[in-house]
Amino acid sequence: MKKIHDSIRWFRSSIFAEYLPLLLVVVGLIGSFYIIAQLVPDKAENVKEEAQSGDYVPIPSIGISESYAEYTKTFQTYESDFGFSFKYPPHLKVFKFCDSTCWIVLSAKDESESDDNSKIIVSVAENDEQMSAEEWLLGPFSGYSQSKDDYGNYYKTHIDGQEAVYTDGGMWTIVNTPDNKYRLSIADLSPGNAMPLFSEMGIVIESLSFVSSERE
């Protein structure tokens, strides 16, 4: 019996010694990823805490890991007749309906189209007033000023080179097309009993790009 125990002890020690460098590397990598994951959100929060409403604050990126990079390969692309496009994850479907304003609606494929489901809505309206995104947000038509307690502060940023504004949490973003002809208002309109589409909203905003004759 003692020989068996000695053999097991020797086997464990030899395996540990052989793979010790590899284990140290793995532990080091895990530690590095953990530190990065902790520092990136903390840094973003610190910037937000110091910023005042109306300051320039970049929208934080949602993807920093290899697994997210793989996930992006499954994204679909929506191309609009209004000269912009964005990506969205495969579990969402997209449909559009128009009258004086066009609404591009993203919702889960396995859900009905009732008002109880989480939705991201991209509304496209003519910018007849020739207002900047910030001017429109602060103006009488957006409803932001009347409901500021609900929306919180707003911040300025750039989306594909365009001036844009977004509210606390990034769940409402406004940006004009490069020719200033159309205004895009992108919002998560999930009802109170539904789960907001946080990551999906981030994917749409981060991938939003414009096609402009000025850039061609």
Report pLDDT for 3.
40
Together in a domain, 110 and 194: yes
Q: Is 104 a residue whose pLDDT tops 70?
A: yes
In total, how many domains does the chain have? 2
Together in a domain, 89 and 45: no
Together in a domain, 46 and 121: no
- Express as a percent the part of the chain with pLDDT over 90: 53
Together in a domain, 147 and 105: yes
Lowest mean pLDDT among 21-25, 77-81, 105-109, 204-208: 21-25
Residue 59, domain member (yes or no): no
Domain extent, residue 80, equals: 66-210
Residue 150, domain member (yes or no): yes
Residue 61, domain member (yes or no): no
Q: Is 140 a residue whose pLDDT tops 70?
A: yes
Residue 56, domain member (yes or no): no
Task: List the CATH number of the domain containing 141.
Answer: 3.40.1000.10
Q: Contact, 203 vs 88, CB < 8 A?
A: yes
Together in a domain, 143 and 200: yes
Together in a domain, 124 and 159: yes
Report pLDDT for 34.
39
Specify the 3-state DSSP secondary structure of 87.
strand
Residue 32, domain member (yes or no): yes
pLDDT, tens digit, for every residue of 39-79? 444 444 555 568 899 999 998 777 778 888 899 999 999 99
Q: For every residue of 100-168, which 3-state class applies, written as one string? A: CCEEEEEEECCCCCCCCCCEEEEEEEECCCCCCHHHHHHCCCCCCHHHHHHHCCEEEEEECCEEEEEEH
